[in-house]
Amino acid sequence: MAGFLSILKRTYLSIYNWTVFAGWAQVLYFAVKTLNESGYKHVYSAVEKPLLLAQTAAVLEIFHGLVGLVRSPVSATLPQISSRLYVAWGILYSFPEVRTHILVSSLVISWSITEIIRYSFFGLKETLGFTPSWLLWLRYSTFLVLYPSGITSEVGLTYFAMPYMKAAEKYSLRMPNKWNFSFDYFYAAILVLAIYVPGTPHLYRYMLSQRKKALSKAKKV
């Protein structure tokens, strides 16, 4: 029974990782193609559907961690996925005014390269039981550049969307109302940006420690 469950788990994770890998590969392909043919202002419209689908699929990774399908701690997975979903849905999808900004291109390319490497790494690990050393190195090294570029793009796009949040008052709730509760999306965005201040170096240090552990372990093998 335990053997069957192990096979079932590996099959599911293989399908999940390769499916999301295909989604991010599509995002990168459309982004590069559009940049080359039409320019950065058209990148979002070219990648919107696969971007939203691939990024939203990452919600399952929180579930994977909670039920023990993977060893990744939810405390590390949750903030990364939450911030990505916030930018994808709460900023880009919700405020079309920022979709033509050049930071969309740096965001999409940073995210897609990171995820193509990550999902292929775990896909091979679940499918074949091992990963080549070069992919291991990419998995634990490319974030040194792509994480700062991705974070800068996330923060920048949130900042540039804020005047439109304030003007439109989208997702805001004013008093009086039957719930006797008010919510301002503009000030929520300020709070999100404030969380990036301690959150970014914390996650970066965590990834550095994971890199050191993974690469030192690989040298011993």
User: Catalytic residue positions?
Assistant: 147, 154
Measuring CA to CA, which residue among 78, 89, 79, 14 is closest to residue 54? Answer: 89
The burial of 47, by beta-carbon neighbours within 10 Å (0-12 exposed, 13-18 middle, 19 or more buried), is given as: buried
Tokens of 170: 């989208």
Tokens of 40: 């950065």
Q: Determine the Cα–Cα distance for residues 46 and 25; give it in Å rounded to an integer.
A: 13
Residues counted in the chain: 221
Q: Which secondary-structure segment (H or E) carries 60?
A: helix 59-67
Q: Determine the Cα–Cα distance for residues 122 and 71; give it in Å rounded to an integer.
A: 12
Q: Determine the Cα–Cα distance for residues 127 and 217; give it in Å rounded to an integer.
A: 21
Tally: H helices and E strands in the chain: 8, 0
